[in-house]
Structure 1
Amino acid sequence: MSNMKGRSLQLAITISSGSAYLLFGYDQGVLGGLVSEPSFLSAMGNPSSFYLGIIVALFNIGCLGGCLIAGLWGNYLGRKRTIVWGCLTMIVGGIIQASSYGSGQLIAGRIVSGIGNGLNTSTVPVYVSETSRSAVRGRSLAIQMSIVIFGTVVAYWLDFGMIRTQTGEVVWRFPLAFQDVFALITVVTMPLLPESPRWLYSKGRKDEAVDSLTRLMDLPDDHGDITVIVAEMEQAVALEQSDSRLTVKSLFFDKTDMKNGRRLVLCFMLQLFQQFTGINVIAFYVTIVLETNVGLSREMSSLVAGFIQIAFWAGTFPPIALMDRLGRRKVLMLGSTMLCIAMVLFTVGVALETPPSSRLALGMLIIYEISFGMSWNSVPWLYAPEITPLNLRHLGAAVGCFSEWLWTFIIALMTPAAIENTGWRIYLLFCFMIALSVPFVYFFLPETSGKSLEEIDYIFVKDRAPVPNMFSTANSSCVDMQLKLEGESNMVENVDV
């Protein structure tokens, strides 16, 4: 693997980082299918439903902690080492969970696993973005997010199969232990892969950065494309070092040329809108929704929930082909439109409480899952590392993940009580937020597809332009890049709204 180049190396990166992301999806979903298993409840001391909800939700608190660690020390450790430490932490958490003989031990294991997951989810998108070509960066991250949802599908159906074919504590101990397999794959393979050339360059390790870049692109170090990217990285580092001020005040009154505060706010807000599509209401409590709102029996709800998860996974395939062709903005706005229609009709269906309206609600639920998988599932995870400058990219990804886990935790806690006390009215909140996401994307998010990570700086830094003579080694590539930059003025205006 250490001798791989070009496409074979990109495939190895996809497999290694994808295994860490499959673990992300698996660990999110594995406990949800086990919380009603009698042997599991007995081992945990038969906790109340509220306490059980706390046990499930505390995983997200661990994830918040992992995001903070990644934000503080991720740039020091580097992309690869942060991911390896994240997986090692999740292995320890998996062992603690699988060997649990009480709720306290399980909570400890959940929090430890959450910390590792927070490290991974903050870093894997950055690593994938920084090791992918500009033209396929969206596709690379879309593949990773498809793997995440596949992990959730694996967890659900493994739980389903174990419950129906096995007895005793193996029913829940094996699924909790099985997550360590995915972490081990990443721990073994990640050290054999190249470090991010952008991170190496930012640390002054320029020869290593060029070597990593030549392996990733399978080109000699004097090739024009390599020379252009190296010059872009050099200029980006110089630009960021000259204007890297970041304070709490700048998050709200950002007057710097780099607009670092504004970029971090966008990272936070994008994940907020993702969570207020209502996806985790469906992901965590789909069987409750099917029983309470749609009117299915418990057995039928469990079976239908499994096929809804498969529909969700199927929806993650179109972005692999479309995200780089249509662009991030169009994918998000198209997804929001489809999600809004599906959520409105779903709400109408559960509000009417008739057999035909229940079938309408079920159909809209499936369309909703597919629509989310096609749009908001992937783009927010890619967008945060794209729009943040090199010296703050780890922080931008961490801020996005922090927002993700914060709102996931809040929604996970409020949903059972909201469904019980408000019924269908809780879904009106999600209808409103989905509709609001369209103008948010249109006015505040610039397009990033097809641009190098260094070029994206100039969407925000509109008063500066790249120095032409820095790209004299590859004139044609320089001209192409200059034309791109000159054509970005419209998008810059959107950023300044």
Structure 2
Amino acid sequence: MVLRYYIPLLTPGFRPQLLSPSTMSKADIMTAEKTSQETQLEERQTDSPAFNAEVDALRLPLRGRKLTAAIAFVTGTGFTLFGYDQGVMSSLLTAKQFEKTFPEVVVSPAHRNHATLQSLLVAIYELGCLAGALSNLWVGDKLGRRRTIALGGIIMIAGAILQAASFSYAQMLVARVITGFGNGLNTSTVPSYHAECSPAAQRGRLIMIEGGLITFGIMISYWIDFALFWASDSSAQWRVPVALQIIFALIMVIAIGFLPESPRWLLKAGRPAEAMAVISALEDKPPSDEKIKQTYEAIREAVLLEELGPTSGSRHPDKTQSKDVPLRELFTGGRGQNFRRVSLGVVIQCFQQITGINIITYYATLLFERLHISDTNSRIIAACNATEYFMASWIAVFFIESIGRRKLMFFGAAGQSASMVLLAVLGSLDHSAARVISAVLLFVFNSFFAVGWLGMTWLYVAR
């Protein structure tokens, strides 16, 4: 049953449809349409003097491009933090002081089981991310986008402090789980917040830039690790890079307090005047402007459609607090195609990770050392790889609107596949030229991923 949703994607000329033939009865459709019409005719607050007066009283000081830039800065900081936290462990795993503090990560012929302990220290962070992202199903709509992001940032600060103050392997494990939990909250909220607060015409590029900032964080972490590589007589060699992520988290937590909430969430929470004020500020136009009214009504109608269904008890999302939708609704078909949407989102995000990109991100230095490159040169090449990775991410920013999402994803997947096939072949050859080409192919793999799959999965799923 699941395959029938994906086989058409490989068909030339296929164009995804947002809506499928409805499985709702005619009576349900007529009821929904009648409710929608009644809502528009009876409750069009945009024409109400009292409603407009309330909106005027909520006028935001930051407006237009300045507000859009501020939102982009804060969400970008969140993803820079995500990238930094991913990359910072790469060079630390083989740092002298890190190995001294955590001998469990030192892999040697006498301690082969330490390879498992080293891998666990890296991977445990992802388990925390998974738990944080899943918890957003229950806390995200209750807290709102801003408070969820702030909560995620605070948890990451606590986790970073515990990591930097660690003196045992067990403490570091727990600290990385905590940090990952906060990151999971952020990465499952920031794209939605940014998409809901961005002008439609700029949404694609802004979210692609946001994805590119993940690589910016990775690049920074690699170069900081390399700079402190020479402080081999002090634990600052690894404690400082780990602690520096606190700066990004603090900026995000403080700055998000000065930004407005998502208009979509405000409508779901029964705060229509605030939603209208935010839309007006984002477009830098008065609430009486017809475009602002249309945008407001479009979002309001979308929220209304979410409320329609067998479990819905409200037809007026701006009058009541939004209710919890049972998880089983995610597995239903019909007009909303919930199961297909969820399946596409989950599969795309999963396969982004299954491409193996994090093997390079987390173990870049070790991978280059396995190619018989010296310790110092491995760190330099890893940092250069991250820099090139960041530069390649900008290609998608400039072509996302002209080429489109699916074509870039196919392009990236094809390039990554070819790179991995060549790496597998060259890995079996014991020759210096093969090792050099293998190192180059790691750069190539990252480049194709940056173009087709880095920010694209956040954008496609949010849309």
TM-score w.r.t. the length of structure 2 is 0.79
Q: Does 1:28 align with 2:111?
A: no
Decide whether the 8 Å contact of 1:135 with 1:324 is kept in 2: no
Among 143, 160, 175, the alignment partner of 1:94 is: 160
Deviation at 1:150, TM superposition (A): 0.8
In structure 1, how many angstroms separate the alpha carbons of the residues matched to 2:432 and 2:355?
26
Q: 1:45 to 1:2 in 2, by over 3 A?
A: farther
The residue correspondences of 1:147-296 to structure 2 (distance < 5 A) are: 147-165=213-231, 167-243=233-309, 254-292=332-370, 294-296=371-373
Look up the match of 1:367. Answer: 444
Decide whether the 8 Å contact of 1:66 with 1:117 is kept in 2: yes
Deviation at 1:40, TM superposition (A): 2.1
Q: Higher helix proportion, which one?
A: 1
Deviation at 1:244, TM superposition (A): 7.1
Q: Does 1:69 align with 2:135?
A: yes
Among 106, 112, 116, the alignment partner of 2:182 is: 116
Decide whether the 8 Å contact of 1:244 with 1:260 is kept in 2: no
Decide whether the 8 Å contact of 2:91 with 2:222 is kept in 1: yes
In structure 2, how many angstroms separate the alpha carbons of the residues matched to 1:37 and 1:8?
42
Look up the match of 2:432. Answer: 355
In structure 2, how many angstroms separate the alpha carbons of the residues matched to 1:171 and 1:359?
29
Look up the match of 1:341. Answer: 418
Look up the match of 1:301. Answer: 378
Residue by residue over 1:73-109, the C-alpha shift from the partner in whole angstroms, topping out at 9 and shown as x without a partner, is 1011000000001001111111111111211221121
In structure 1, how many angstroms separate the alpha carbons of the residues matched to 2:357 and 2:309?
38
In structure 2, how many angstroms separate the alpha carbons of the residues matched to 1:108 and 1:18?
27
Deviation at 1:147, TM superposition (A): 1.3
Look up the match of 2:392. Answer: 315
Decide whether the 8 Å contact of 1:93 with 1:112 is kept in 2: yes
In structure 1, how many angstroms separate the alpha carbons of the residues matched to 2:384 and 2:210?
21
Q: Secondary structure at the match of 1:134?
A: coil
Q: Does 1:144 align with 2:144?
A: no
Residue by residue over 1:389-424, the C-alpha shift from the partner in whole angstroms, topping out at 9 and shown as x without a partner, is xxxxxxxxxxxxxxxxxxxxxxxxxxxxxxxxxxxx
In structure 1, how many angstroms separate the alpha carbons of the residues matched to 2:166 and 2:366?
26
Q: Secondary structure at the match of 1:192?
A: coil
Decide whether the 8 Å contact of 2:90 with 2:361 is kept in 1: no
Decide whether the 8 Å contact of 1:2 with 1:192 is kept in 2: no
Decide whether the 8 Å contact of 1:62 with 1:118 is kept in 2: yes
Give the CA RMSD over aligned residues: 2.0
Q: Secondary structure at the match of 2:188?
A: helix
Q: Secondary structure at the match of 1:219?
A: coil
TM-score w.r.t. the length of structure 1 is 0.73
Q: 1:201 to 1:249 in 2, by over 3 A?
A: closer
How many residue pairs get aligned? The number is 384
Q: Give ranges in structure 2 of 5+ residues lacking alignment.
A: 1-58, 106-113, 312-324
Q: Does 1:18 align with 2:76?
A: yes
Look up the match of 1:9. Answer: 67
In structure 2, how many angstroms separate the alpha carbons of the residues matched to 1:63 and 1:172?
22
Q: Give ranges in structure 1 of 5+ residues lacking alignment.
A: 387-497
Q: 1:166 to 1:15 in 2, by over 3 A?
A: farther
Larger C-alpha radius of gyration, 1 or 2? 2
Decide whether the 8 Å contact of 1:2 with 1:193 is kept in 2: no
In structure 2, how many angstroms separate the alpha carbons of the residues matched to 1:56 and 1:344?
26
Look up the match of 2:401. Answer: 324
Q: Secondary structure at the match of 2:257?
A: helix
Q: Percent identity?
A: 34
Q: Secondary structure at the match of 2:201?
A: helix
In structure 1, how many angstroms separate the alpha carbons of the residues matched to 2:292 and 2:338?
27
In structure 1, how many angstroms separate the alpha carbons of the residues matched to 2:419 and 2:344?
26
Look up the match of 1:385. Answer: 462
Q: 1:34 to 1:248 in 2, by over 3 A?
A: same
In structure 1, how many angstroms separate the alpha carbons of the residues matched to 2:305 and 2:455?
29
In structure 1, how many angstroms separate the alpha carbons of the residues matched to 2:80 and 2:228?
20
Look up the match of 2:4. Answer: none
In structure 1, how many angstroms separate the alpha carbons of the residues matched to 2:310 and 2:193?
22
Deviation at 1:31, TM superposition (A): 2.0
In structure 2, how many angstroms separate the alpha carbons of the residues matched to 1:233 and 1:248?
23
Residue identity in the other structure for 2:159: G
In structure 2, how many angstroms separate the alpha carbons of the residues matched to 1:123 and 1:132?
14
In structure 1, how many angstroms separate the alpha carbons of the residues matched to 2:132 and 2:401?
30
Decide whether the 8 Å contact of 2:204 with 2:401 is kept in 1: yes
In structure 2, how many angstroms separate the alpha carbons of the residues matched to 1:244 and 1:385?
25
Residue identity in the other structure for 1:278: G
Deviation at 1:239, TM superposition (A): 1.5
Look up the match of 2:97. Answer: 39
Decide whether the 8 Å contact of 2:104 with 2:117 is kept in 1: no
Deviation at 1:165, TM superposition (A): 4.0
- Structure 1 range deviating more: 52-61 or 112-121: 52-61
